[in-house]
Structure 1
Amino acid sequence: MRIACVGAGPGGLFLAILARKLPGAPEVTVYEQAAEGAPRGWGVVFWPDLMEQVEAVDPPFAESLREFRYTWHDQVVEVDGSEVRFTASGFAMGRHLMQKLLVDRAREVGVRIEFDRRIERAADLEGYDLVVAADGVRSGLREQAPGIRTVVTEGHNRYIWLGTEKQFSSFTFPFVRSRAGWLWAHAYAFGEAGSTFIVETTEETWRALGLDALGPDETLRLLESTFADQLAGHKLVLQEEARETAPWRRFATVRNSAWTDGTLALVGDAAHTTHFSVGSGTRLALEDAIALARHLERAPSVAAALAGYGAERAEALEVTARQARSSAAWFEAVPQYVERPVRDFARLLMERRRLVARRAPGLYLALHRLTTVPVVGGLINRGLAVSRAVAPRVVGPLRRRFAS
């Protein structure tokens, strides 16, 4: 079997590694349009469950992740200097480092990687038994597949992906009031070298501050001034390839009617995107690779493998995609929530994936207080669980009273 992977991101490279280990050791080639070692942005986050999945299919790469991962502790919500802290932990790693670890592992198992090689036409890959499109949100291969109908929708908010040498050892959400409205960041360290610092705001505030017309240097200076307390004198930095402009974007949500077409399979952002506020992009791309490799190993043919893969992953993504849409919508409605007491606002942010917390914040907060009971030394939160006997008597009146 001959397999081509287009795109050297986590999904494409990990699929290449796992495919190379299949019975018969298929010939696998990865094509990447960028040069080897080219800047890949800032950091990615992942969680313990991903480590377990990687360990099960490729222990050497899992060991590399364990060796070089950065562990952050707690999530912090800060509103105009007032801080609320939640207990949590997770892992992060620089994108450039993760790619290097994957490239080294791919070469170790015999994958051929061609950097500086742009694949623009599906016809350029004739002769391969399987083509894996791991070429991102604007996948060119996907657009040439008649059996895949793609819908890309853009969110309302504006965001810009930045880095800083300031080390945010907790996953931090600072909200700052400007003269034209609120701006906030998603900040987390990915190692001793620094942190990812994504700035987000509404379209209205973005325009009112003149950010739609500012160049890169002016943009960075304005944002450094806005987040001066959080950055503590550290600078913000644009990605290398974006330093001629200030690349503010709207988040693009990709949905496909199918994940496969003929001998083509989509993985990672080519197949799906989930808003950066849920931190699932890398995890989902690696899970795509794991699922596709498993189906290739077990199915009697490539066609059967692709059918099984597409059905499994489309179903598996339903919950995550719904939560990501809810999270993105919550951040688009920040002005509706941010004037609440900081602890209430922070609680809503932490629970933004729950529909009730987003659509009926007053009801959610009332239920949260109702189901939080005092104990010696603190509180126990029983969540939103309300017994069937109690629910009719409690939820109806609360909904009427706290619906907004």
Structure 2
Amino acid sequence: MAETIIKVDLKKSPYENENIHNRWHPDIPMASMVKPGDDFIIECVDWTGGQIEDNDCADDVRDVDLSKVHFLSGPVGVEGAEPGDLLVVDILDIGAFDDSQWGFNGFFSKQNGGGFLTEHFPEAQKSIWDFKGMFTSSRHVPGVEFAGLIHPGLIGCLPSKEMLDIWNTREKGLVDTNPTRVPELATLPYADTAHMGKMTGEAAKAAAAEGARTVPPREHGGNCDIKDLSRGSKVYFPVYVKDAGLSVGDLHFSQGDGEITFCGAIEMAGWIHMRVSLIKGGMSKYGIKNPIFKPSPITPKYDDYLIFEGISVDEEGTQHYLDVHIAYRQACLNAIEYLTKFGYTKAQAYAILGVAPVQGHISGVVDIPNACATLWLPTDIFDFDVNPNVDGPKIELDGSVDIPLSKDK
């Protein structure tokens, strides 16, 4: 059996584990070393480090400290890896812990992170999803069950100092264009809640002051939230520092394309089994700037979809020029409105789009002035028929169950 090279204890704070970190910095020491060809298992806490509980109250989502996230296991050093190489990572398997067979989905309040549709859902809410083997369902969102496409939301290698400086400069420049915006335009370095792994003393303080936050995807990979990066995937990561420094976390049981609720997947703690190898000089050989990957050969088989279109016209009727962001938002809002006709609340419909294996597509970006984006909703995940017909929608849900809403402080 593969060796578990990083272990976690869900009963302890991630800050007590020197093999976990929550910032990107080139000087974070390697938690473990492996050789090309090795396979190994890494355990991961959920991305918040246990801040969210399995209950029917959303106050923990309202109060979550997002300056602490994401908690990543690693970095894992690969012997012989040098800047300019490609680190090849085979994701062999992923799973939840036997004693933690549940996950959560949440909407963050507009005042604390927001989300893709934060203007429509400004208050914190959450749903709990129970795992039954490869399937999941929720007491908060009745009428749906689907197979999980388990994947790491966040995986990547350490940046070089030069790359770290580029990240911090360009993101600060963006924040400076509107420094009081809510939610903020980017998350800048914040030392107070940083956990720098095995770094201690003055070195840790200095690194924490400039360590990049883990919120966005960047050139090294990071928080890409790609649902198809599942078991059986092969990923090619650019290497920017000696030994590469591979870290992973933010495990998801399932997610729709876009992770539109921000805490938009079914977040979980668990383990991931990986194998690594190297392509020397691979970045220049293949002209790679960002990671590329081959998807899993094992995916949930859903063949029947309802596909919702959206165009570059916002909710107020304002025309935008080939704006894919607005087009996808409109596709999501159209799907939410449709699902309410079957008895779902808008919050339940929003959660479904965030956690179920929906597909998002950029369907057209040349027909001025409207880009067209589409959201593909698998119909087989529902316990009832959601297709249009001449008789109209049949109300299947009585509205007695809804996603918990946070209370006023």
Given the two structures, how large is their TM-score scaled by the length of structure 2?
0.29
Larger-Rg structure? 1
Q: Which has the higher contact order (CA 8 A, sep 6+)?
A: 2
Greater helix content? 1
